[in-house]
Amino acid sequence: MNEPLIEVRDVWVTMRGHTVLEGVNLSIYPDDFYAIIGPNGGGKTTLLRVILGLLRPCSGEVRFSSGMGTGRESEIGYVPQFRTFDFDYPITVRDMVLSGRLGRINRLPRRYGNLDRERADEALDTMGISDLADRQIRDLSGGEQQRAIIARALVGEPKVLLLDEPTVYVDTPTTLQFYEILDRLRERMAIVLVTHDIGVIPDRITRVACLNRRLYTHDSNEITPDMLEAAYHCPVDLIAHGVPHRVLSDHPEEGREDA
Amino acid sequence: MLEVLGFEFFRNALLAGVLASIACGIIGTYVVVRRMVSVSGGISHAAFGGVGLGYYLGIDPLLGATVFTVATALGIGALEVRGRQQMDTIIGAVWAAGMAIGILFVYLTPGFAPDLFSYLFGNILLVPRGDILLMGVLVAIIVGIVGLFYLEFQAVTFDPDYARVMNLPVERFSLLLLVLVALTVVMLIRVVGIILVIALLTIPAAISRIYTGRLWSMMLLAVVLGALFTVIGIGLSYVLNVPSGATIILVSTAAYAVALGIRGGRSVRLWRYTQNGG
């Protein structure tokens, strides 16, 4: 197996007396399409913030392969949970997407070049929002804003794309479209998708893990009933609604009796 | 009324007003979009401590104010970086402590403190030539730094978390921005005084926000509006023979109220229109 791009090693995080992450180990490989599911408050966003370097773990470490470069953060694209910043800020969609290139520019003072503008046009095109480029972000709908945020993450040509609940605020058709886009991006980067909704996991994921303080991994793309039970601390109903492909494995009869 | 332009003090006042408007249009834009209004209020009131210290030591009170505001800006910035809770309480404490230090120093200074009032409420008609030169240098510094690091400031004030993910030195730029706020405050003290600084810093930018959609255009319109308000305010205060600082602020707030009223009226009409099935 090839070398992991990112290795999370025995990470513990305690916040205000509560243990949020407990000995979490996680490796992200270049061809991964990794889904991390878990209940609200299970530590999903915290784990992403540790990987991004926005939060220092109490113990443990996050290692990056040499391929991730020395300026490691600029190799990561991040789609934060919706509305973590002020949508009333006076900025156009194009300028917001372009700002995702700043991590690629090292000379001071930073100025955009032709390559940056080309990449921004491509990212806008990929997300299908080229026609909105000169609109202000506050004039967009929720789904359009989310596309702009994803375009900003793509424009830096990251090796790893981290998505935090990317479909929470968008309707089902947009969600399906969005997963088609992710499928195309898989060729170019590793993707880590975090969500609390086990019904929305796309069918092309390579691995699944459940996170609720501890990370329960399975090294396959199926969620097993015991993983879910371990993560949610209660039997979980394994019926997925409106998903063409089930990521949930067939479960034995006794599992159904439990539920 | 135009014959008043023949007086040097009046030309100086207009020049000072325009210089201050450039600084507060540019920096005020960041204050408004980054929601740093209370931080700026804390910094400006801490300036009074510096004014008092200046009196006590027998140096230029504005020099004392510069030292105090920059130190306060760096202190608040350092606390913010550490992610302290109750930031607004800390700002309130700094705000009051600055004023208290100023009052104590003025009390301890032997004799009478001349034009103490002008530091509190401003008196642009008394701005000496030397101060105008100082203001010009400060404006050049502010315009130069913002021009150089426009993209970095935009990224840091728009989404600091993402800026950090991209490896930008977010803390350094946040501190730099707070220092620029402090320098702008010092400039504005001459024009409208410590107590009214916050209004001139935020109102032109807040009105500009209604009509513009980009950071740079918001700055440009805020500069123009600020210059307009100060020039009208100075003219009115001369004609009516009332304090200039207060007049400038009342002109600004009246304009803000009108701008908000027009916007509110527009959205009500739009709402009625859509309600009527338009």
Mean pLDDT of each 10-residue bin along chain B, 278 residues long: 77 91 95 90 92 90 90 89 75 91 90 80 84 89 94 92 87 93 89 87 94 93 96 92 90 94 71 51
ipTM of the complex: 0.82
CA-nearest residue to B219 within chain A is: A90
Contact A54 B159 (CB under 8 A): no
Q: Where are the alpha helices (DSSP H) in A164-214?
A: 172-185
Task: Give residue B70's pLDDT.
Answer: 94
Q: Which residues pair with A217 in a beta bridge?
A: A209
Chain A residues close to B170, C-beta within 8 Å? none
Give me the phi and psi of B78, to 5 degrees please: -65, -40
B-chain residues near A76 (CB < 8 A): 165
> How far, in Å, CA of B102 to CA of B56, rounded?
10
Q: What is the dihedral of CA A108, A113, A115, A120, to 10 degrees?
A: 100
Residue A89 with chain B: CB contacts under 8 Å: 33, 157-158
Give residue B225's pLDDT.
96
Nearest to B155 among A84, A99, A156 (CB): A99
Question: Which of B30, B33, B51, B41 has the alpha carbon at shortest distance from B176?
Answer: B30
All residues of chain A having their beta carbon less than 8 Å from the beta carbon of residue B166 are 73-74, 100, 102-103, 156
Residues of B in contact with A102 (CB under 8 A): 151-152, 155, 163, 166, 168
Dig out the tokens for A59 from the structure.
């113990």
Question: How far does CA B248 lie from the centroid of its chain?
Answer: 13
* DSSP line for A216-245: EE-SSS-B-HHHHHHHHSS----PPSS-SS
Contact A110 B152 (CB under 8 A): yes
CB atoms A103 and B152 under 8 Å:
no
Q: Which tokens go with A249?
A: 């494995």
Chain A residues with beta carbon closer than 8 angstroms to that of B159: 84-85, 99
Comparing CB atoms, the residue among A73, A78, A89 nearest residue B158 is A89
Of A84, A99, A103, the CB nearest to B161: A84
With CA atoms as reference, report the closest residue to B55 among B136, B18, B131, B109.
B109
Q: Is any Cβ of chain B less than 8 angstroms from the Cβ of A103? A: yes
Chain B residue with Cα closest to A157: B166
Cβ–Cβ under 8 Å, residues A92 and A139: no
Half-sphere exposure of A248 (CA within 13 A, CB side): 20
Q: Which of residues 116-145 of A touch B (CB under 8 A)?
A: 136
Of A53, A90, A109, Cβ closest to residue B215: A90
**A195 vs A214: CA distance, rounded Å:** 16
Sort out which chain B residues have CB atoms less than 8 A from A149's CB and list them: none
Burial class (CB in 10 A: 0-12, 13-18, 19+), A243: middle
User: Hey, are the CB atoms on A91 and B214 less than 8 Å from each other?
Assistant: yes
What residue spans of A111-232 are helical by DSSP H?
114-126, 142-154, 172-185, 225-232
Q: How far is A236 from chain B (nearest CA, A)?
A: 35
Nearest to A110 among B151, B164, B213 (CB): B151
- pTM exceeding the 0.90 threshold for the entire prediction: no
Residue in A closest to B218 by C-alpha: A90
**Nearest-angstrom CA–CA distance, B196 and B201:** 9
Beta bridge partners of A63: A7
Query: What tens-digit pLDDT sequence spans chain A (259 residues)?
Result: 578 888 888 888 888 888 888 888 888 888 888 888 888 878 888 888 898 888 888 888 888 877 676 554 468 888 887 666 788 899 999 999 999 988 888 777 888 888 888 989 988 988 888 898 899 988 888 888 888 888 998 898 888 899 888 877 677 777 777 788 888 888 888 899 888 776 666 667 788 888 888 888 766 666 666 666 665 654 444 444 444 444 555 544 444 434 3
Which residue reads 């000169």 in tokens?
A: A134
| Cβ partners under 8 Å of residue B268, min gap 6 | none
CB nearest A52 (choices: B149, B157, B165): B165
Chain B residues in contact with A85 by the CB 8 A cut-off are 158-159, 161-162
Enumerate the residues of chain A whose CB falls inside 8 A of the CB of residue B145: none
User: Which residues in A lie closer than 8 A to residue B148 (C-beta atoms)?
Assistant: 109
- Locate the chain A residue with the closest alpha carbon to B29: A90
Phi/psi at A215 (nearest 5 deg)? -105, 125
Q: What is d(CA B169, CA B165) in angstroms, rounded to the nearest whole number?
A: 10
Determine the residue type at A235: P
The encoded tokens of residue A205 equal 């994921």
- Contact criterion met (CB below 8 Å) for A134 and B173: no
Q: Taking CB atoms and an 8 Å cut-off, how many pairs form between chains A and B?
A: 80
A52 in B contact zone (CB under 8 Å) = yes
Q: Locate the chain B residue with the closest alpha carbon to A83.
A: B159
Whether residue A182 contacts residue A127, with contact meaning beta carbons closer than 8 Å, is answered with no
Non-local CB neighbours of B106 within 8 Å, separated by 6+ positions: B52, B55, B56, B113, B116
Contact flag A90-B35 (C-beta cutoff 8 Å): no
